[in-house]
Amino acid sequence: MTIAVPRPPKTDTDRLERLLHPRNVAIAGYSSKPGRWGNRIIGSIDAAGYEGRTYLLRPRSEAPGLLATDSLSPGLEIDVVYVIVPARDAVEVIAEANAAGVAAAVVVSSGFAEVGEEGQRLQERLVEAAGEMWILGPNCLGMASVPARLNLSTGSFLERGAASRVPGPVAVVSQSGAVGMWLTCLIEERGIRWSYLFNTGNEATISAPWFAARLLERPEIETVVLYLESVRDPQAFQELGRTAQRLGKRVVVLRVGVSADGGRAAVSHTAAVATDDFLLRSLVPSRHVVFVRDENELVEAAHLQRVDILPISPRIGVVSVSGGAGAMIADQLAPIGVSVPPLAEATRARLLELQPRLASVANPVDLGGDFPVTAEAIIGLLRELAAADELDAVVFYYVHAEFHREVFAAVAREMANLPKPAWMVWAGAPSDDLRLIAPLGRVIPGIVALREMIETLPRRAAVTAELHPVAPADSLSSLDPGTTTEAMLVEPLRSMGVRYAQTAVASAEYEILGALDRVEAPWVLKIDSTAVPHRAKLGLVELGLTDGSAAAIVGSRLLTRARELFPAAGDIRLVVQHQLEAGRQLSVGAIHDPALGDFLVVGPGGGAAEQSDPRRAAVPVPITEEGLAAAFTAALRTVGTPISEPEFERVLQVAAGLTTVPGFAELDLNPVLVSESGELTAVDSLLITTGDRD
């Protein structure tokens, strides 16, 4: 089934204003039967306290006490029509609304493109009937505008406390009505104030990214939460990223249903995961467009009102009312590459000078039971830590802060003014108290939530310009189209600056012992051939060999088996390699997309390189500071330990340089092993070129 691509409407500030704050609305499809959608929507409108007039267009049953109309005449000043009639009737209603000058229609009716080709043709008729009028849907749940006190959707969450809702700086745009409602509920429960909720449904004219950009341009909106199941309008998605960057605002994206479509020949691991959608994500600025993995990360990312940026390996100072809580924070942050390092002697001395009764001036700093609970005392400590050269961010942990509400509200306000990112973990905070100061984006309800929030933050590499590629080795400048295997890549990669495991090649059985002598044990033996790109899957790899005679026998057996499996292959060789400890594995690949260009792909290594993983990132070539930060963040999330920045940058520069090889198509460096000290060593590689690229 093919879903129609949205026909983007014209950007119209007046039409948007009328949709967000309609003077009057009309309901097409009212029913007096309890439980029917046309009845429930009236209750939802009433619950929010909408002050405009609500007209029922040709109601199918009596509607005592409600305004009914036989037509959508211009004199009624109707800005939005809510359509819940059958699909074929909806086309007539939309044509009437367009003729009457209605700004927008919310089409709840189903039976359009989501049901097949016939429904798609009906949706095309709907679009034609709309003319310049905007359509939300069809097949959607509707919208809610807190500033207009209007719920044009139904649900217990929307109706619960609707009349007392206060507008806030967050808007939610969702392709799924149910998920959008649920996410907005979670956001509100977190204490975050929101202003708008929109479900785009089939996106006949309004796509979720396009509409998110329009909302981001509103002065009252700082963050848009975007739930996507597909990107039917890639250009609108790219425009959204540019809008967020231009305005210095934030988009939080929860993306599901990523497919492996795209028609790539998955010869390399990189090609298996480099879908068009995956590459598209890399084209938006990560500092302002944040992709999250689940609803918990989404809520924490939406909570932040300032876009904090951390270094590649952040060092955080912790001030805690409990030594145990400080240790828990350190334990939670370590797996995501964040350390809680010892404080410098000068910093410790300044802290004791400020507060001699501190229980500990190690990191975490323990306030102890005698600490004076005043805003001035706490802020003084936080300022000292924020000024310390050995720290990149500050965390303040407190429990039972509700006993000192004014004190901690003042502390939270000051955190937003510190020169480095700073957050307060308020353990056991009552939700009402969180709501009072949540718009500051500085208060986190627990230690796990702190970790999830920090995981959503972009990390910045120590560069101020793009990372220039390394020129390819001379031996790679005139490759024939096809696959260049590890045996031919080891030396060129070393010459370009990549650390590679000790490797030797045997082209025949009599060369195996000599190759073993040139490489330190233990050994891994691997068949190498352009006919065998995925040798491990075929049993053509042996690990952990330590006896030379036994290894030679194993090598002979591997060569024999490979020749039996691939009798036509004329380039079957045996690679003998020093086997390093498996440890932490990365993959660094590159891919050429005919439409979007060249990309590096960083993520989990080994067999996991072919699996969809939220830690993986694509980076456009040339590598900008933004792209380098995204690559580092992906690597850190993958291995969970510090990585040598110079070595990682060098691997990226080499990968970027290989994209300039004539006919470049795909590259795999997988796995790249990361040692405890952060050193990177490549242990496998593959390069693919084609003859159809200039």
- Confidence tier at 167 by pLDDT (50, 70, 90): very high
pLDDT of residue 515: 96
Interstrand relation of 104-107 and 78-83 (parallel, antiparallel or unpaired):
parallel
Q: What angle is formed at CA 302 by the lines to CA 297 and CA 308, rounded to 5 degrees?
A: 90
Question: Alpha-carbon distance 361 to 381, whole Å?
Answer: 11
The 3-state secondary structure of 353-399 reads HHCCCCCECCCCEECCCCCCCCHHHHHHHHHHHHHCCCCCEEEEEEE
Q: What is the pLDDT of residues 473-487, one digit of tens each?
A: 998 988 888 899 999
Question: Alpha-carbon distance 494 to 355, whole Å?
Answer: 55
The residue behind tokens 């948007």 is 16
Report how far apart the first and last C-alpha atoms of the chain are (Å, whole number): 35
The structure tokens listed for 403 are 């006993």
- Confidence tier at 431 by pLDDT (50, 70, 90): low
The 3-state secondary structure of 247-266 reads HCCEEEEEECCCCCCCCCCC
Nearest Cα neighbor of 619 from 651, 646, 644 is 651
Name the CATH superfamily housing domain 502-578.
ATP-grasp fold, A domain (3.30.1490.20)
pTM: 0.64
Q: What is the pLDDT of residues 71-120, one digit of tens each?
A: 999 999 999 999 999 999 999 999 999 999 999 999 999 999 889 899 99
Q: What is the pLDDT of residues 120-153, one digit of tens each?
A: 999 999 999 999 999 999 999 999 999 999 999 9
Average of per-residue pLDDT values in the chain = 86
The structure tokens listed for 660 are 């300039």
Q: What is the pLDDT of residues 335-358, one digit of tens each?
A: 888 999 999 999 999 999 998 888
SS3 of residue 492 by DSSP? helix
Q: What radius of gyration do the chain's Cα atoms show?
A: 30
Question: Measured between alpha carbons, how far is residue 72 from residues 47, 443, 585 in Å?
Answer: 25, 48, 64
Q: Which CATH architecture has domain 13-257?
A: 3-Layer(aba) Sandwich (3.40)
pLDDT of residue 262: 35
Q: What is the pLDDT of residues 517-568, one digit of tens each?
A: 999 999 999 999 998 867 888 899 999 999 999 999 999 999 999 999 999 9
Q: What is the pLDDT of residues 227-249, one digit of tens each?
A: 998 777 777 888 898 899 888 89
The residue behind tokens 């053509």 is 540
Q: Same CATH topology for 13-257 and 502-578?
A: no
Nearest Cα neighbor of 169 from 197, 190, 147, 193 is 193
Q: What is the pLDDT of residues 658-672, one digit of tens each?
A: 999 999 999 999 999
DSSP 11: P
State the virtual CA torsion across 444, 447, 449, 455 in degrees, nearest 10. Answer: 110
On the question of pLDDT at 465 being above 80, the answer is no
Asked if the peptide bond before residue 138 counts as cis, ω within 30 degrees of 0, the response is: yes
> Any residues with CB less than 8 A from the CB of 524 and at least 6 apart, and which?
541, 542, 543, 544, 545, 576, 577, 578, 579, 683
Selected from 3.40.50.261, 3.40.50.720, 3.60.15.10, 1.10.150.80, the CATH number assigned to the domain covering 310-457 reads: 3.40.50.261
Q: What is the pLDDT of residues 36-68, one digit of tens each?
A: 877 889 989 999 999 999 999 999 877 778 899
Domain ranges of the chain: 13-257, 310-457, 502-578, 584-689
Check if CATH label 1.10.3210.10 holds for domain 584-689. no
Interval 432-449 mean pLDDT: 69
